[in-house]
Chain A
Amino acid sequence: MNERKDSIEERAAKLATEIAPPRDLWPGIEAAISAEEQPAPRRYFMPLLAQAAAVVLLVGASSGLTYLTMKDRQAPIVVSPDLVFERVSFARYDLGPGFQDARDRLSSQLAQELMRLSPEARGEVEENLAAIRTAIVEINAALEAEPDNALLQELLLRTYREELTVMHRVGGLTQNVMTRNNGQRNDI
C-alpha cells in the first residue's frame, strides 16, 4: 500500500500544473471589467439607451408626481392592461427568493397604486416601466445568444433593480398623498 501511495504521489507531482486554455479567455474578461470602468460596447447600446431613457423619465416623473396627484384627486380611474409582469428569468442565475417576493408583492400592489394617480401621472409611470420592461426583454434576448456574458448579466440585474425601485417609489408616493389627504380631511 505504501508503495502504491508513493507511486500515486510521485505520479501526481508529475502532472502538468500549467495548462493553456483551448481558447483565449481575455475577451470575456475584458468585457466584464470594462463594464465596470467604461461605457458598454456598441452592440449593447440599445438596452443601455433604454435604461438611460427610463432613468431620465423616472427622474422627471418623480419630481412631478406628487404635484400631479395632489392637483387631480378627482380624476377618473383607468387601469392600464399593458403592465403585465412575468416571473424573473435570469439565465441560469437565481436572483433569490427575497427579490422575487418583493417584485411579486410590488407588482400585485402596482395596479392599486396606479388607480390613486391622475391619468397624467399614471401615464408617465407606465411609460417608465414600459421602457424598463423593453430593456429587460432586449437584454434577455441578448442573453439567449450569450448566456455566459457577464456584462449582460450585470446589466439585467441592474435593470430588474430599477424596475423594483420604480414600483417601490410609486407605492411610496401614493402612500404619502393618502396620508396628506387623510390629514386634510381630519382637519376639516
Chain B
Amino acid sequence: MLLTAESTDYSAGMATAPDADIRADAADEASLIERSKASDPKAFELLYRQHVDKVYGLCLRMTGNPGEAEDCAQEAFIQAWRQLAKFRGDSAFSTWLHRIAVNAVLGRMRKSKREQERIQVVAERSPHQPLAVDSGELRDLTAAVNRLPAGARHVFVLNAVYGYSHEEAGRMLGIAVGTSKAQLHRARRMLSEALAEQDAENAPDRDP
C-alpha cells in the first residue's frame, strides 16, 4: 500500500520507486501485523498511520458526517486490535479493515434509533457542505450521495466509489446480492434526479 501525502511523516526513508514501495510496504505491513498480534501497540500505531485515511474515508462516505466518521474510524481500529488474531491474510489487510469499518458504522447506527435519526438529520441538514477533498462537479455528487437513505448510500459507496462487487458489498452489509443490486439501482435513480435538479438550478447562472 502506498502511503498518502498526509502520512509521509511516518514513512521517511522508504524507497521511492513505486514497485519497491509496494514490495517494501507489503513486507513492512506483514511484519507490523505480526508484531501487533503479539500485542505491540507501536507496531499497531504504524498500521493505523498507514490505513487511517482509507478507514476514515470509508466511514465518512458511509455516514456523510465527519464527527460520526471519526467515532466509527476510532471504533474500527479498536475492534481491529481486538480481532487481529483472526486475521489470516486471506484478503488484503486494508479490505479486512474496511469490513470492520463497515461493521462499526452499521453497529453505531443500530445501537440507537435516535442516534441513527440524528446521523440522518445531520446529513440532511448539511447536504450542501461538500467535502474539502472533493472538487468541482464532484461536490454536487457528494452532497447528493449524503442525502441518500442509509441503505442506498452504503451500497452506492461500497460499489460505485470503492469498487466492491455486489457479493462483497452484500457480505459486508449483511444483505442479499439482490438487495444490494436493488439498492444500487435506487441510489442511481435518486442521484440522477438530484443531480438533474441541481443542474436545473444552476442553469440560469450559466447563462450570460
Contact = CB atoms under 8 A, between A and B. Distances in A.
Interface of A: 1, 4-5, 8-9, 11-23, 25-26, 28-30, 32-34, 36-37, 92-94, 148, 150
B78 interface: yes
A15 B143 CA distance: 12
B95 interface: no
Give the 8 A-B residue pairs with the shortest CB-CB distance, closest first. A12-B160, A19-B57, A18-B53, A20-B6, A16-B133, A21-B56, A4-B192, A32-B78
A18 B95 CA distance: 13
Residue in A14, A33, A34 with the greatest tally of chain B CB atoms within 10 Å:
A33
B41 A8 contact: no
B70 interface: yes
B4 interface: yes
Interface of B: 4, 6-7, 39, 41, 44-45, 48-49, 52-54, 56-58, 60-61, 66, 69-71, 73-74, 77-78, 81-82, 111-112, 115, 131, 133-134, 137-138, 141-142, 145, 156, 160-163, 188, 191-192, 195-196
A21 B73 contact: yes
11 contacts: A4-B196, A9-B188, A12-B161, A13-B160, A15-B142, A16-B57, A17-B57, A21-B53, A21-B69, A23-B70, A30-B45
Given A16-B133, A19-B56, A33 B74 contact: no
